[in-house]
Amino acid sequence: MNSIRIRFTRGEEVKFISHLDLMKVFERAIRRSGLPMSYSQGFNPHPQMVFGMPLSVGMTGSGEYADFELVSEAKPEMFVKRLNEALPEAIRVTAAGIKNTKSNIMASITGADYIMELFVREELQPEAALRSFNNMMKQDAIPVIKESKGKDGRDTFKETDIKPLIISASFEAMQDMHPGYEDFKTAFILKARFRAGNAANLRPDLFIKALSEQAGIPVAASRVHRSALYVDFNGVMTDPLDPAILA
C-alpha cells in the first residue's frame, strides 16, 4: 500500500469555498500534477483521498491534513513539490510523510488549535473583559444553547456544557484594528485548544456564543484561523505527521 499524508494551509482567498469544492480543487490539482494517484472504480472515477475535519466556510487554516492513496511509491518531497505546482496559490502543502497505518485522518482527529479575532461594537475596558472571561472559565459548567436542524427540518435547541470541551484558552486585547473593521470599538484575540473530531467537538462559533451570553462580551464579527489539528497517541494529543502516528 502506498499512502501519503500531507499538511496544508488554506489561505484568505479560499476560505469561503465549501469543503466539497475544496476536494474538487485537490482532485483537479492531482490531475494536473500527473502524480500516480489511485482512482476509485465506477462511472465517475475519483482520486482516493480523505480529508481531516472539514474547516467551516469562512475560516483559514495552517494545519489541515489529507491522506492520498497512490498506485506507486512517491517521495514525500517530490509529492509536495508537484502538488504545490498544481494547486492555486492560496493552498500550500507544507509537509508530507509516508503513511503506513491503515487508520485515516478523518476518523482519528481529537483536538484543534484556533486563533480568533473577535470584534465588539461597543467600547469595552480590556481589564474588565479579561476579568469576565476568567470568571467564565472558572465556572464548573459553561452551558450554551445549541441550535440545530432536527430530522423534520425544524430548529431544535439543546443545552450543552462546553466546559469539558475546552482544553485551554487565553484571551487578550488586540492592539491594531484590522483594516475594514474601523466601525468596531473593541477587539480581542483568543487562542484556544478545543476537543475536535467525531467523539467530542467544540465549534468556535459556540464558544463565541458563550462569550456573549456568559461573559458579557458581545462579539459581533470574528475572523477564525485553525492553526493545528491533533490525533491521539496513547492519550496524548499528537501531530498527525509524527512518525509514531504514521508507523
Partner 1 sequence: MDVSHIQREVLVPVIIRDDILQSVEKPARYTGGELNSIKKDPSAVDIRFAFCFPDTYEIGMSHLGMRILYNLLNERSDTYCERVFAPWTDMEAKMRENHIPLFTLESRDPVGEFDFVGFTLQYEMSYTNILNMLDLAGIPLLREERKDGQPFVCAGGPCAYNAEPLADFVDFFMMGEGEEIINEVMDVYAQWKIDGVSREDFLNRIVNIEGIYVPGFYDVSYNEDGTVRKVRPIKPGYPEKVRKRIIKNLDRTYFPEKMIVPYLNIVHDRIMLELFRGCTRGCRFCQAGFIYRPVRERTPEKLMELADKLQESTGYEEISLTSLSTSDYSGLHVLTSGLIEAMEPKQVNLALPSLRIDSFSLDLMEKAQKVRKSGLTFAPEAGTQRLRDVINKGVTEEDLLNSVGLAFRGGWNGVKLYFMIGLPFETMEDVEGIADLGLKVVGEYFRTPKEQRGKGLEVTISTSSFVPKPFTPFQWEPQDTMEALRNKQKFLKGRIKDRHLRYNWHDPQLSLLEAVFARGDRRTGKLLLRAWELGCKFDSWGEHLKFDAWMKAFEDCGLDPAFYANRKRSFDEVFPWDHIDVGVSKKFLQRENQKAEKAEVTPNCMTSCSGCGASSLNSGICTGYFGDKGVNGNKSDKDREARDE
Contacting positions for partner 1 (CB under 8 A): 13-14, 16-17, 21, 24-25, 27-32, 39, 43-45, 57-58, 86-90, 179-181, 220-223
Strands (E), 102-218: 109-120, 143-149, 155-161, 166-173, 186-195
Helix 126-138 to helix 204-214 angle (10° resolution) is 110
Three cell numbers, residue 158: 439543546
Provide, rounded to whole angstroms, the least separation between the CB of residue 209 and partner 1.
Answer: 15
Nearer to partner 1, 193 or 223 (CB): 223
Comparison of 37 and 109: residue with beta carbon closer to partner 1? 37
Nearer to partner 1, 205 or 239 (CB): 205
Q: Give me the least distance between CB of 47 and partner 1, in Å please.
A: 9
CB-nearer residue toward partner 1: 29 or 105: 29
**How far does CA 37 lie from the centroid of its chain?**
25
Q: How far is CA 31 from each of CA 11, 76, 87, rounded to the nearest angstrom?
A: 22, 18, 11
Decide whether 153 or 180 has the Cβ nearer to partner 1: 180
3-state secondary structure of 233: strand
Residue that has been written with the C-alpha cell 475560516 in this structure: 59
Cβ atoms of 105 and 240 closer than 8 Å: yes
Nearer to partner 1, 23 or 98 (CB): 23
Report whether 170 contacts 190 (CB < 8 A): yes
What is the spatial distance between Cα 222 and Cα 204, in angstroms, rounded to a whole number? 10
CB closer to partner 1 out of 118 and 237: 118
- Least separation, in Å, of the C-beta of 170 and partner 1? 22
Q: Residues 6 or more apart from 23 whose CB is under 8 A from it? A: 49, 51
Q: At 7, which helix (H) or strand (E)?
A: strand 2-10
d(CA 238, CA 232): 6
At closest approach, how far in Å is the CB of 230 from partner 1? Answer: 26
Q: C-beta of 116: minimal distance to partner 1 in Å? A: 11
Length of the chain: 247
- Closest separation between CB of residue 60 and partner 1, Å? 10
**Minimum CB–partner distance for residue 58 and partner 1 (Å):** 5
